[in-house]
């Protein structure tokens, strides 16, 4: 019975030992140098929402109309440059001088410079 246990132990040892490969070298080998490419952080899209409280209603001449903006995912960006733009036809947009804030206010009259407004951030 002891003989069977010894044989079993030797067989298990041989089977387990054969799973590993050992190697030895007299001199040191150098591994290949692999460079890791720089990775740019991918930020979520900045979403700009603009609105005015008076939109959708009839507003009399002389009313002050303020456009507001709200940025979604702003926490992923360092700084913002605001530029309000105006257009007569929605195709050709011009920068509005001095309109560089998150809000823009006009007084409605028949001589308003633009008919359409948008914000570029």
pLDDT at 115 over 50: yes
Q: Which domains does the chain have, with CATH numbers?
A: 47-120 (2.60.40)
Sheet-wide strand order for 64-72 = 47-51, 64-72, 104-107
Q: What is the DSSP letter of 42?
A: P
Question: For 12-67, how does the pLDDT look when each residue is reduced to its tens digit (9 = 90+)?
Answer: 444 444 444 444 455 666 667 777 677 777 888 888 898 888 777 787 888 888 99
**pLDDT, mean of residues 70-86:** 90
Is pTM, for the whole model, over 0.85?
no
Check pLDDT > 90 for residue 93.
yes
């Amino acid at each position: 019975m002891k003989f069977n246990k010894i044989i079993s132990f030797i067989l298990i040892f041989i089977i387990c030992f054969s799973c590993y490969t050992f190697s030895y070298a007299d001199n040191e080998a150098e591994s290949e140098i692999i460079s890791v490419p720089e990775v740019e952080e991918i930020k979520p899209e900045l979403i700009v929402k603009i609105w005015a409280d008076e939109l959708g209603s009839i507003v009399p001449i002389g009313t002050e109309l303020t456009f507001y903006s709200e940025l979604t995912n702003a926490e992923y960006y360092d700084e913002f440059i605001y530029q309000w733009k105006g257009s007569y036809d929605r195709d050709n947009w011009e920068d509005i001088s001095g309109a560089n804030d998150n809000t823009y206010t006009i007084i409605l009259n028949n001589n308003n410079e633009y008919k359409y407004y948008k914000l570029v951030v």
